[in-house]
Amino acid sequence: MTVATTRDGVKIDYEMVGDANAARRIALVHSLAMDKEFWRPVADLLAAAGVCSLIYDCRGHGKSDKPAGPYTAEQFADDLADLLRGAGWDKACVAGASMGGVVSIAFGQQYPDRAQGLGLFDTTAWYGETAPKDWAGRAETAKKEGLAGLIAFQKTRWFSDAFRENNTAIVDACIEVFLRNEVPAYAEACNMLGSADLRAGLAAMKMPVRIAVGEEDYATPVAMSQALHDALPGSPMNVIKNGRHLTPLEVPEVIAGELKALMGI
């Protein structure tokens, strides 16, 4: 277990995948209620292309500390900045899926000189007018019913019907990670996403950006990626056929390809 400590004393668990001395470096930020293993398939593909990936458990997740909230996207971006510094990286590309994409956008806005490029997958800068209520409702369900009460809801959001049928080991592994979450930290992360609104800072973002989204994603629909694409000139957008919400797990080779393109490989 390799740990970095943030400015407010939170310990963040992380791992390097690939050659630590590689010239190309990327930090990968997982989705809500997952952990660093979410990115393992993509990181392994990138390692084969000579890229070092930093994968980690966000605050409130996995083996990292789970302090009391409230949590904010900006705070998670600060965590990533401190983690990179602790790992000895001055700058890197950053990519995230779903919650991880929100964190990546926040990082790009707060630390533009340290973000060499952004990969934004199945994500958004804003979940919409009803987001605070919607996300608070999910947090309340977790508190009242436990995380097991959300499994049926999550599975259909995460993966397409065909993927779930043909990749039971991946689905089961995600469920196992989901159920290991601590409800208070999960609820704080939900509320963080409900309150996140990063739209105002998009126009100032000048680093290279690539966007991809599953065509069947109804957690962060294609329209949300389109809004990012429209706000970020020169950001290629890939709508992935038959993909749903967790495309780094559904089609890791496609997402790795997007990231290699981002890094000029």
Residues 116-134: pLDDT tens digits? 999 999 999 999 999 999 9
- How long is the chain? 265
Mean pLDDT of the chain: 97
**Partner residues linked to 216 by β-bridges:** none
Residues 37-53: pLDDT tens digits? 999 999 999 999 999 99
Strands (E), the chain: 2-5, 11-17, 24-29, 51-56, 92-97, 115-121, 209-214, 237-240
Sketch the domain layout of the chain as residue ranges.
2-127+196-262
For 103-128, what is the mean pLDDT?
98
Residues 154-211: pLDDT tens digits? 999 999 999 999 999 999 999 999 999 999 999 999 999 999 999 999 999 999 999 9
Instruction: Give pLDDT, residue 1.
Output: 75
The two structure tokens encoding residue 232: 């970020």
CA 179/CA 139 separation, integer angstroms: 14
CATH domain 2-127+196-262 topology: Rossmann fold (3.40.50)
CA 122/CA 218 separation, integer angstroms: 9
Distances (CA, A) of 261 to 26, 46, 209: 13, 11, 10
Tell whether pTM > 0.95: yes
